[in-house]
Structure formats: C-alpha cells, structure tokens
Amino acid sequence: MKKVSALPASTTAVRLFLEKQTQTRKYATIKRMAITIGLVHRFHEYPDPCNHRSIKMIMAQTRLDKKGDAKQASAFNANHLKELQQQLSSDSTLKQLRDVALLSVMFECALKRSELRSLSFEQLQESESYQIHFGDKTYQLSPASSDILRSWTLMVPEHLGPVFRRIDRHGNIGDMR
C-alpha cells in the first residue's frame, strides 16, 4: 500500500487515482470527482492539483476515450404513471400517496414545478373527477388520477392553502408552508 497524503494531494496521486477510475467509471463521474477534489483543496486553501497540465491532459484523453458512454434517461410517460397508480395500495405510505398524486396532476396537466407548488385547494373543483383551474385554463383529470388526488386531499387536515405539502419524518403533514 502506498503512503499518500490525502490533503494536500499531490498531482501524481490525483493523476493515478483518476487513471484507475477511468477503468470502471464514466466520464461524467470522473469529471465530478476531479471537480470535487479541486473544491476540497480550495476550501482548505491548498493549491488545486487538478489545475496541473497532467490532470487536464488525463481528463481530455478520458473525454475522447469515453465519448458516447453517456445514456439519456427515458422520458416519464403515461405507462409509467399507470404503473405507479396501480402499485399504490391501501398499505402505501402517506408520502407515496402524495407523490403519486403529485405526479398524476403534474403529468395530466403538464404543469411546471412552480405551478404545482402554488396549486391551492381553491383551484380544485371536485365532481366525479377533479377539474383544476389555472388562470383561464381548466384541466380535467382522469378517473384514476382523480381517485388518487381525492385520497390525498382527504388526508390533508385543512383545505386551505397549497394542495401538496411537506411530510415530516414522523408522517405528519405540514400546514400551510
């Protein structure tokens, strides 16, 4: 075993570490590691070993060698939502219920996170299925999404303020915000 100082790390130690990591890791991971090593050194007011030309050359070579190894995640679609809704059962946790309700509303209404965060009970209109009002637009939820949203809203103690709220580690639903 080599005796190497972790802080400050020598340029050689960092180079050897990154070379070893290139055998099993993707370029994005190696780049993140190099950035983190540099940040830790700067935080402790040590010179950044990743600014050395040998490290930059290793990173450039790794980028070329591992070109195309990144994979695009598949987009969330109606089949994913349907699977989540079907997996929800009577013994699901409160957090799981809230998350599936949140995803259902977000997907069916094509909402941004900020719009979802600001969604209030005043914007909901319940009949056989929920209607959600955003300005001059009205969205009709599917029966499955309406049932899940109904189950969630029954759990929320006060029907004032935001529909989706935090849940603490004890399972208590937060109040307004």
Does residue 8 have a cis bond before it (omega within 30 degrees)? yes
Give 4-40 pLDDT, tens digit per residue: 777 888 999 999 999 999 999 999 999 999 999 999 9
Residues 121, 59 within the same domain:
no
Range of the domain at 99: 78-155
Residues 51 and 99 in one domain: no
What global pTM score does this model have?
0.62
pLDDT per residue as tens digits for the range 74-97: 888 899 999 988 888 777 899 999
The mean pLDDT of 147-153, rounded to a whole number, is 94
The verdict on residue 102 lying in a domain is yes
Task: Give SS3 for 130.
Answer: strand
Q: What is the pLDDT of residue 2?
A: 67
CA-wise closest residue to 161 among 130, 132, 131, 119: 119
Whether residue 131 has pLDDT greater than 80:
yes
Residues 47 and 87 in one domain: no
Question: What CATH code is carried by the domain that includes residue 101?
Answer: 1.10.443.10
Residue 73, in any domain of the structure: no
Strand order in the sheet with 137-140: 124-126, 130-134, 137-140
Q: Can you give the length of the chain in residues?
A: 177
CA 131 to CA 108: how far, in whole Å? Answer: 11
Statement to judge: residues 148 and 94 lie in one domain: yes
In the chain, the number of structural domains is 2
Is the residue at 172 inside a domain? no
Report pLDDT digits (tens) over 47-78.
999 999 999 999 999 999 988 777 777 888 89
